Amino acid sequence: MATPSSPRSSRSRQRLSPAVLAASLRAARLAAESMAAPTDRNLALELVRVTEGAALAAARLMGRDRKEEADEAAVTAMRSRLAYVDMDGIVVIGEGEKDKAPMLFIGEAVGNGNEPRVDVAVDPIDGTRLVARGLPGGIATVALAERGSLFHTHVPYMEKLIVGPAVAHVIDITESVGVNLRRIARAKGCTVDELTVVVLDRERHEPLLAEIRAAGARVKLIMDGDVAAAVMAAMDARTGIDALMGIGGAPEAVLAACALKCLGGGMQARLWVRDDEQKKIMQGEHLSTVRVYQLDDLCGGDNVFFAATGITDGELLSGVRYRGEHAITHSVVMRSASGTVRYIEAEHDLRRLDPARHKARTHR
């Protein structure tokens, strides 16, 4: 061991001099910043607070057949909470165009303006009819990714094929339904009649349903909520849903892609038009129904966050439950960089969250 007067000790003291130490710390910090993911890890919990707020606001109108009012409540609450998130966000998937949506419109700036710069996708209520009718499966969702990484189109619909991580490599949306189901079954080591496919209950899906049934697979029909259904298909080991097939919303496809990017699932999609007006929109954007969009085409970010909170009870998440002066929420949050999925049960003191409402209630 070197003595204090040895040359080795002298060199050590020189290396640890204030100027050299400061330079070393700066270099280490720059190296760490260059290697670190561009989005702060803590954004995950901030996004959960956003979806919790939207769910709490919408849940009070559950089953009261006031669809627009429930949506407005969720949008208002979500926008209010997004303002406090530490980000410089631009809404890419939102409530509509600026002249048609008063809040959370496409292009709206959200967040407190600090770094990181991100694209934001929101659906304050995925399954508005479900909430209005008090049916299962309504959720509030929000996702974000690096700026410029989320796909956007004015074409309202996409055909989708979504599966979990274990079979992500075997799907091909250009092949027949039967071929895809046989490939999925083979990759899972089961038979087709053991598979369950979730499909939106729409008249346009009658031919698809006939193909699924002819192949021998089981079918789970849902009224609405294809973001939640997509997440369930990607979490097949937990939910028992092996695939999502069919035509749904294009904005919902991007939100689903954000979740799939975190979960490692597989997704392919194609634009789908129902009339000449939508076809003109597609052609004006120089797009086509032929192109197959892979997961990275819909969500190209490497550091993606997705959060959802249940509004009504569903298979993915339990809904909001009121207990006197408190409310219970159930949420899921995920991050692509780490692959971490967290389930959060939160108890909210309504007296503190909404003191004006509490005061009015106690004075009835």
- Could you read off the pLDDT of 26-78 as tens digits, one per residue? 554 444 343 344 455 568 889 999 999 999 999 999 999 999 999 999 999 99
Give the C-alpha separation, 163 to 167, whole Å. 7
Band the pLDDT of 143: cuts 50, 70, 90.
very high
pLDDT at 153 over 70: yes
Give the C-alpha separation, 135 to 303, whole Å. 34
Token duo for residue 22:
């400061």
From residue 91, give the alpha-carbon distance in Å to each of 75, 162, 260: 13, 24, 20
pLDDT at 15 over 60: no
In the predicted model, what is the mean pLDDT of the chain?
A: 89
Band the pLDDT of 356: cuts 50, 70, 90.
low
Give the C-alpha separation, 330 to 343, whole Å. 7
Rounded mean pLDDT of 278-285?
96
Q: Among 36-45, 200-209, 233-242, where is mean pLDDT lowest?
A: 36-45
So what's the pLDDT on residue 353?
79
Strand intervals (E) in the chain: 88-93, 109-110, 117-126, 139-146, 157-163, 196-200, 218-222, 243-249, 266-272, 293-294, 305-310, 321-323, 326-335, 341-349
Q: Among 18-27, 157-166, 220-229, where is mean pLDDT lowest?
A: 18-27
Q: Among 91-105, 117-131, 161-175, 269-283, where is mean pLDDT lowest?
A: 91-105
pLDDT at 359 over 90: no
Which residues are bridge partners to 248 per DSSP?
Answer: 158
Q: Which of 331, 284, 333 is nearest to 305 (CA)?
A: 333
So what's the pLDDT on residue 265?
95
So what's the pLDDT on residue 324?
87
Band the pLDDT of 97: cuts 50, 70, 90.
confident
- Please report the domains of the chain, with CATH numbers, ordered by start residue: 43-147+305-362 (3.30.540.10), 157-298 (3.40.190.90)
Q: Are 144 and 119 a contacting pair, CB within 8 Å?
A: yes
* DSSP calls for 43-91: HHHHHHHHHHHHHHHHHTTTTSS-HHHHHHHHHHHHHHHHTTSSSEEEE
So what's the pLDDT on residue 57?
96
pLDDT above 90 covers a percentage of the chain that reads 80
pLDDT at 282 over 70: yes
So what's the pLDDT on residue 45?
84
